[in-house]
Homo-oligomer: A and B are copies of this chain.
Amino acid sequence: MKLFYSPTSPYVRKVIVLAMETGLDAKIERIPAVTSPVEQHPDLARANPLAKVPALVIDSGEVLFDSRVICEYLDSQHQGPKFFPAAGPARWTALRQQALGDGLLDAALLVRYEGFLRPEDKRWPAWSEGQMKKITGALAEIERLAPSFGDRVDIGTVGIACALGYLDFRFADMNWRQQHPQAAAWAARVFERPSLKATVPAA
């Protein structure tokens, strides 16, 4: 399999964490693809019409995207404990938590594009403020949920870990741990996992 990836994409991180946790990482060749919403990477755009990472070329030649689809596909390709629980309450909880992490990230990326990609005179503070509200809403929900996480490692908690890791990477000034002690305590434990240690984005 071949994975179009960027080392700073939090959605890619989710995929690589899952690949490492399930022993699939060695079967995945990584193809670097630096891309942005205003400048497509040509090879990536040929593989994924949305021109986004991650995109996974599977052995049939088909290209899977986005990160949720890739993660669920990879989870079907190993025999260990599953990251996507079978249908039932545990599945809805995990998928909801993945959506919470992805939603936080969608908002964080939009803030980032607004503040760093867009020319300064074209920035609209109300836009960034609206997205920041989504981030703080998601953080409050993660704080509420954190005591229930225990040491559960599935697509829900991996998704949330990658979301929090992105705040550490790009929103360090927020200092999210200060007002979210339960989430911080959980993050301290989960960030000790080799898969998360190996995928910390470099500044």
Which A residues contact B (CB, under 8 angstroms)? 36-40, 45, 49-52, 58, 60, 62, 64-66, 68-69, 72-73, 76, 87-89, 92-93, 95-96, 99-100, 102-104, 107, 113, 118-119, 122-124, 126-127, 129-131, 133-134, 137-138, 140-141
Q: What are 21 A-B pairs with beta-carbon distances under 8 A?
A: A37-B131, A38-B127, A38-B129, A40-B133, A45-B137, A49-B134, A50-B100, A50-B134, A50-B138, A51-B133, A52-B103, A64-B92, A64-B96, A69-B92, A69-B95, A69-B99, A72-B95, A76-B88, A118-B127, A122-B123, A122-B124
Copies in the complex: 2
Q: Which residues of B contact A45 (CB under 8 A)?
A: 133, 137
Q: Contact between A103 and B66 (Cβ–Cβ < 8 Å)?
A: yes
Question: Are A124 and B118 neighbours in the complex by a CB distance under 8 Å?
Answer: yes
A76 to B40, CA, bound (A): 38
- Smallest Cβ distance from A114 to chain B, in angstroms? 10
A174 to B118, CA, bound (A): 26
